[in-house]
């Protein structure tokens, strides 16, 4: 028996479990063989605090201090071609990204071609050591007497006499509070628990790894985006990750890339650079799961408060995890959140109550 059962071993689940382990014993149930297997393991691993809607930005900024041990410099660049001025200016303003000269842009990313007409850049974007963050949170759970169980897919959830009984891999676990951090499967877990879903939709996003363009040392290049986030490219371990940045609605599953979508994204990237993409080293896809309003869903279910939502992280799971998990623990322990009340309200599952 535990005080809290957390379903889901991605960054949302393990960070919430770590916070809650200060208030009671926690059991984390992860269906896969390893933590962070799905969306968390396929993240772009970027901390960009200006990225997202206002409530997400608030969580990202509130996470800054705790993010520091996991961050390394990367930088963010936005590039535009002729005819994209309005979109460029809107994106640069939203991301608080000052415009720079084309000479400055090409000094940082020398493969930008002569079709680029404008560029913007800011230094305050960072790579996140995502695996270390997940493992540190899991370690905190175990240190505080909890357990983190992998290969434990949940098959049955029952609620009776104020306690949840959860069956996973033939084992039963019991706790008065159940936290749903199941990512793309969050609505399925809710249905299994007899809770009304909130409309979490998994959206596929693909990624290709290509060799370093032109044999350049790309380790110091920033991540660079097209206007409207129609593609982006990010250095990673000596190679370049290129994403079409698509958001194609799908069902919860072990995602794989759509070859045509990937090819179209690589073509959009290629239109901005001087080097041709001749081969892929690898490709994959992940599921970014959003609520209908594209904000996180954090807090007790309005019908059954023993059921707690920790879902809808979208593409912001890692950069919001420290503040989002602390908010959840504050709400469950009765402490006053540091996050502003109006932000807390925008994230509450109460907003979906009809």
| Tokens matching residue 40 | 């968390």
Which residue positions in the chain have pLDDT lower than 70? 354
CATH of domain 76-122+202-288: 3.30.9.10
92, 120 contact by CB (below 8 A): yes
Measured CA to CA, the distance from residue 125 to residue 73 in angstroms comes to 7
The gap from C-alpha 107 to its chain's centroid, in whole angstroms, comes to 30
**What is residue 354's predicted lDDT score, i.e. its pLDDT?**
60
List the beta bridge partners of residue 283: 208
Q: Which residues contact 1 (CB under 8 A, 6 or more apart)?
A: 25, 173, 174, 175
Element (H, E) at 346: helix 341-347
SS3 277: coil
Q: Where are the alpha helices (DSSP H) in 211-339?
A: 259-270, 317-333
Q: Where are the alpha helices (DSSP H) in 45-177?
A: 54-62, 64-67, 85-94, 102-108, 130-143
Per the CB < 8 A criterion, the answer to whether 262 and 242 are in contact is no
Length of the chain: 354
Percent of the chain residues topping a pLDDT of 70: 100
CB contact set of 256 (below 8 Å; sequence gap of 6+): 284, 285
Q: With contact defined as beta carbons under 8 Å apart, do 17 and 137 qualify?
A: yes
Domain boundaries in the chain?
A: 4-44+129-200+292-352, 76-122+202-288
- pLDDT, tens digit, for every residue of 258-268? 999 999 999 99
- What pLDDT does residue 136 have? 98
CATH code of 4-44+129-200+292-352, in short, is: 3.50.50.60
259 is written with which tokens?
Answer: 């070859």
Please give the pLDDT value at position 103. Answer: 98
What is the helix (H) or strand (E) element at residue 294, kind and residue range? Answer: none
**2 and 146 Cβ atoms separated by less than 8 Å:** yes
* pLDDT for the residue numbered 42: 84
């Amino acid at each position: 028996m535990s005080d809290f059962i957390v379903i889901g071993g991605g960054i949302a689940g393990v960070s919430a479990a770590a916070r809650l382990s200060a208030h009671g014993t926690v059991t984390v149930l992860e269906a896969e063989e390893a933590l962070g297997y799905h969306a968390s393991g396929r993240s772009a691993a970027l901390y960009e605090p200006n990225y997202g809607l206002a409530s997400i930005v608030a969580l990202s900024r509130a996470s800054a201090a705790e993010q520091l041990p996991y961050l390394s410099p990367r930088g963010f660049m936005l590039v535009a071609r002729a005819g994209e001025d309005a979109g460029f200016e809107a994106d640069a303003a939203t991301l608080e990204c000052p415009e720079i000269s084309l000479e400055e842009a090409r000094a940082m990313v020398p493969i930008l071609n002569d079709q680029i007409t404008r560029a913007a850049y800011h230094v305050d974007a960072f790579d996140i050591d995502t695996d270390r963050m997940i493992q540190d949170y899991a370690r905190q759970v175990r240190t505080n007497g909890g357990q983190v169980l992998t290969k434990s897919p949940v098959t049955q959830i029952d609620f009776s006499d104020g306690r949840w009984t959860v069956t996973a891999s033939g084992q039963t676990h019991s706790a008065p509070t159940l936290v749903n951090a199941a990512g793309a499967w969050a609505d399925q877990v809710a249905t299994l628990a007899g809770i009304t879903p909130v409309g979490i939709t998994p959206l596929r996003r693909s990624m290709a790894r290509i060799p370093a363009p032109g044999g350049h040392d790309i380790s110091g290049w920033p991540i660079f985006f097209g206007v409207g986030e129609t593609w982006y490219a990010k250095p990673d371990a000596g190679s370049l990750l290129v994403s079409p940045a698509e958001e194609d609605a799908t069902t919860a599953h072990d995602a794989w890339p759509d070859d045509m979508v990937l090819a179209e994204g690589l073509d959009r990237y290629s239109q901005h650079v001087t080097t041709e993409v001749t081969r892929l080293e690898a490709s994959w896809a992940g599921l970014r799961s959003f609520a209908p309003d594209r904000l996180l869903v954090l807090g007790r279910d309005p019908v059954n408060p023993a059921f707690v939502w920790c879902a809808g992280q979208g593409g912001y799971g890692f950069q919001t995890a420290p503040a989002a998990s602390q908010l959840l623990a504050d709400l469950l322990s009765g402490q006053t959140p540091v996050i502003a009340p109006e932000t807390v309200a925008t994230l509450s599952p109460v907003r979906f109550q009809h």
